[in-house]
Structure 1
């Protein structure tokens, strides 16, 4: 814990500890993401940070609203209710208070939501990394098992091999349960399998537990799993390339041909209508400066979220 997290925990830690059951999913995500911050510290930091961000944004926006007299820029036309006329003389005060309250709620709420979502996002990133590196890690495990190395030592050596990414991290947690907490291998596998975000890793560890408990040939199990996951990886890559081809065709159709079609149609309509009006350039501005950039960003985010970890 750093000094800020320690301050937040001392301020709200006991209250947040009493609400553990309300944040069961967050606690699971923190464990799956392998974040080293305890739940009470994390949620206390989230609450304090949200309040601070909300207060700072409220003060800044409220100052600019008051200094620039933005509420006074609102003009009324036609008949308005007498109540509105009465309160219009206090528009600067009321407008500033409104901006302060909205800023506090919006920016504070957004900060709190980011804190709540971050562990889930981190766990999802770890899941993709584990799924991508697990076949190679199992090949490494199979080689060591064939050489006669004990299962506990196998996971310990895998944990010392950072080239296997997050699969090595899971192996280090298995070794930690054995070396530091004194648990046997089956209990260590059970604990890590319950907290890992990867379905593949969970199945692999549970299968290892079953093979060890039944006295089966662990080397054959590792070899079969290595072949299975290698085949699944090839199938996943093939499906990804097919989906990527479909997305690229959709991008060309929607963002290239589609926008050109809209621009040409609007230009023809403008000529037919006798030169058009102010709506024509505004429509073109919307296509060029909004539709094309935001559409491209959407496609980039979609492809990035679908791309397997390397």
Structure 2
């Protein structure tokens, strides 16, 4: 906890403790994201940060509005009600106050929402990384189990292997529960399985816990899961490549051929009509093409498996 987080916690920490039930999802997201910040500290920091951002934005935009006299740009013509006349006479003051309040609510609210959503985004990224590395991690676990290494030591060794990404982090937490908190292997696996963001990791850990409790052959279970997840991983990669090919064809059709057709058509119509400023052509070139390309990039990035 840094100095700013400590300041926020000292300021609002006790009040935030009373809101634990209201922010149940946030607490789960913080745990799944493995953020090393408690709920009270994080929520206190989110509230104080939102207020700071809102105040800075309000002061900055309010000063800019007052200095440039932006409300005076609005002009009224013809007969208007007396209320509008009064507002126009005090437009600079009223406009500046409106900008200050609006900026504080918008920027402060956006900051608060982003900070509340951030743990779920981190947890989602961890879930994708775990799902991508889990088949290889289970192959490693199977090899260690075949060599006769105990399950607790297997998870410790997996936690010390950074090449397995977030799957190694989950194994590291199992080792932490055993070594630091003194829990047995079943309790450690149960705790981690209840907080992991990956459904596949949860299923694997729960199966391992059931196999240990029933006295089954753990090596056979690991080997079966390794084959299962390897097959699922190949199928997932094939589906992703097929989807990527479909998206590529859609991009070529919509953003290359389609926009090229619109540009040629609008250019011809502008020449025939004598339009010196074809606004639709500007919209296609400066808005439609960049915005559409950005949407395709974001869509591909969101569905790409972690490497």
Instruction: With the length of structure 1 as denominator, give the TM-score of the two structures.
Output: 0.97
Match of 2:290 among 271, 288, 293: 293
| TM-superposed deviation, 1:277 | 5.4
Counterpart of 1:77?
A: 77
Aligned length: 307
Q: Deviations over 1:62-96 (max 9, x none)?
A: 00100010000111123322210122110000000
Q: Deviations over 1:192-224 (max 9, x none)?
A: 000000011000000001100111110000001
| TM-superposed deviation, 1:120 | 0.2
Counterpart of 2:301?
A: 304
Counterpart of 1:125?
A: 125
How far apart, in 1, do the equivalents of 2:78 and 2:193 lie? Answer: 69
Q: Deviations over 1:155-210 (max 9, x none)?
A: 11111111111011000100111111111111111100000000110000000011
Counterpart of 2:112?
A: 112
Q: Which 5+ residue runs of structure 1 have no aligned equivalent?
A: none
| TM-superposed deviation, 1:123 | 0.2
Counterpart of 1:33?
A: 33
Residue pairs, 1:230-245, within 5 angstroms: 230-245=230-245
Q: Deviations over 1:12-54 (max 9, x none)?
A: 0000000100000000000000000000000000000000000
Instruction: With the length of structure 2 as denominator, give the TM-score of the two structures.
Output: 0.98
SS at match of 2:23: helix
Q: Which 5+ residue runs of structure 2 have no aligned equivalent?
A: none
How far apart, in 2, do the equivalents of 1:254 and 1:80 lie? Answer: 49
> Does residue 58 of the first structure (1) align with residue 54 of the second (2)?
no
SS at match of 2:21: helix
How far apart, in 2, do the equivalents of 1:283 and 1:43 lie? Answer: 47
How far apart, in 2, do the equivalents of 1:77 and 1:148 lie? Answer: 89
Residue pairs, 1:206-245, within 5 angstroms: 206-245=206-245
Q: Deviations over 1:106-132 (max 9, x none)?
A: 100010011001000000000011011
| TM-superposed deviation, 1:265 | 2.0
Residue pairs, 1:147-166, within 5 angstroms: 147-166=147-166
